[in-house]
Amino acid sequence: MKDLKNLLTPDSGPAGGNPPLSPPGQVNPRIRLVVTLLALAGLVMALRAFHLMVIQQGRLSGLARQQYQRAMQLEGRRGPIQDREGGALAVSLASESIFINPAQLTDTAGAAWALARILGMDPRHLTNELSRDRAFVWVKRQAGPEEVRRVKALNLAGVGFLTEYRRVYPRRELAGAVVGFTGVDHNGLAGVEYAFDSVLRGTRVERLVDRDALGRTVVAAGGGEPDSGGSVRLTLHPAIQWIAEQELNKAVAQHGALGGVAVVMDVSTGEILALANAPGFDANRFQEYSPAHLGNRAVTDGYEPGSTFKIITLAAALEEEAVTPDLKLFCENGTFPVADSVIHDTSAHGWLGLEDMLAVSSNICMAKVGMMIPKPAFHDYMEAFGFGQRAGLFVGQDGRVWSAEATGDLPPPEKWTQVDWAALSFGHGLLVSPVQMTAAVNTVAAGGEWVRPRLVAELRNRRGEEISFGQVTRRRVISRQTAAWVGHAMTVVVERGTGTQAQVYGYPVAGKTGTTEKFEFEAKGYSKTRQIASFAGFLPADHPRITILVVVEEPQEGRSGGAAAAPVFREIARRTLPLLGVPPVGARMAGGRP
């Protein structure tokens, strides 16, 4: 008890009781420890604050902006695509795009279902999108005027509208495959829209979309206004384009064909007046069509030209002096063995002159003519006529290639077998594009000069300045005398040969039919049921103004070029020449324009 008493008794001084906790003048160690720990904690907190407020300030501000701010791109109006007369083929119209701040919605599911019903969207998908923790959600880009009006009438909190531009194609199906189309972000995806996207596209500016303290979405101002894009004017004649499409579609339907192509070209300038594809499509609704229908097959696809190529063989042989105009050859009565193969004619023929060989379209006699031309020389003529290379529709004056074109497939002469040599003479064993074939036939019409085809009449940049592009390019391939003789032989084809259905009342026609079996890669041979029918020619034959090519793919009725393609040529020519001010023969003889 004494010890306990001593412990409970206050210190009475040095004479008795407990000693002091620490010596006089010194801090208690426990207090010093506590103070040290508090100081260290304060230092750590100060360093942490410095790190967050100074060192990490940029990163944390960025994270905050990601939660409350979004950058978006606004693009200027896309420039127009026009026909040769300045008519609109593609324009951009101001339209409103609908967005929403989900945080402001009081009934997310109800808003999603109401919007989906107006905009034709999946309500469940829209509900999921609006349920995410985001300050900005696109609901529909480039909505229609009626859709915008009905959405505004809902008066939903958090719904906003931004002005963008919607691409519109006023002529609908007219030249759809040529003009092409764009995506929702204004990028060209096909045709001229794709080829000259860098010219047509407007500039882009950035806008910030903020969420204020109350959670409302606000589009920040500033950044300047985006500039509009440049323009493209094409050589297409709107009326002739419409005629070509109408007649081609009619023939495809009549013959139960898979499709077709028609090209109308100005003889002297090379300008493409019409470039028709069947079936076509409405670029305003391109998503509704099969991808197989969306291409410009006249430019991008290759086919075996068949007997229309005999024009080239005959011209090369005459120019090379491998044959003379008075030559006659024996056509073997319809069957001609060459190496390990046999060439056939559709009818048996004996001795024929060059005109008649072309008129009846003898494969055998034309093979004999072609094999009189040395292989390297024959190949050089084919190249000079434009085969095995780009036609040049999308090649600028500076050599820049703006878009892809089919080069075709022209085998090198050192790889030709005897059978290849013979087959090439009547248009088998090579691939050409319809535009290439049109330009080659036009060489005869133009007096022996190859003229580069032209689709673009004018390019202008965003400042309205003209961009130099694709001036007329010419090169002499055959003499005027050879061209005149071949042109005359082509008139015989139409007067009394396989092309009589191409005759146009009042206008002399020079032309050539073609009927080619399609090659089936699976069967490794030519089909007996799938064919390509074609007709190529120009008129008036005595003063050529236009060259026309018609290709009908897999006609089921009237499968030959004379039956399926020649009548389309006739109708396009008959309706086109008056539009160009070309009078018939009688009017010209009476003193009209030649």
- Asked if residues 513 and 493 have their Cβ atoms less than 8 Å apart, the reply is yes
| Contact assessment for residue 242 and residue 515, using Cβ atoms and an 8 Å cutoff | no
CA distance 321 to 113: 79
Residue 40 domain-assigned (yes or no) = no
Q: Is residue 331 part of a domain?
A: yes
Which candidate, 522, 311, 525, places its Cα nearest to that of 427? 311
Residue pair 81/234 in contact (Cβ under 8 Å)? The answer is: yes
Give a yes or no: residue 214 inside a domain: yes
Task: Tally the domains of the chain.
Answer: 2
Q: Are residues 195 and 320 in the same domain?
A: no
- The set of catalytic residues is 307
Q: Which percentage of the chain shows pLDDT scores above 70?
A: 82
One domain, residues 446 and 526: yes
- CB neighbours of 20 closer than 8 A, spacing ≥ 6? 11
**Sequence-distant (≥ 6) Cβ neighbours of residue 82 within 8 angstroms:** 88, 89, 231, 232, 233, 234
Angle, CA 98 vertex, CA 106 and CA 108 arms, to 5°: 20
State whether 386 and 528 are in the same domain. Answer: yes
Which is nearest to 331 in space by CA: 368, 370, 372?
A: 368
Residue 573 sits in which domain range? 238-282+297-460+468-582
375 with 401, same domain: the answer is: yes
- Is the domain of 568 the same as that of 547? yes
Residue 11, judged by CB atoms within 10 A of its CB (0-12, 13-18, 19+), counts as exposed
Q: Which residues of 512-522 are buried (b: 16+ CB within 10 A; e: fewer)?
A: bbbbbbbbeee
The pLDDT value given to residue 472: 74
With beta carbons less than 8 A apart as the criterion, state whether 345 and 329 touch: no
The string of pLDDT tens digits covering residues 417-475 is 999 999 999 999 999 999 999 999 999 999 999 999 999 999 998 888 888 877 778 99
pLDDT given at position 192 = 93
pLDDT, tens digit, 9 for 90 and up, residues 322-373: 999 999 999 999 999 999 899 999 899 999 999 999 999 999 999 999 999 9
Query: Domain holding 108: CATH number?
Result: 3.90.1310.10
Same domain, 228 and 308: no
Helix axes 375-384, 310-319, angle to 10 degrees: 120
Looking at per-residue pLDDT, the higher value among 144 and 225 belongs to 144
Query: Do 230 and 250 fall within a single domain?
Result: no
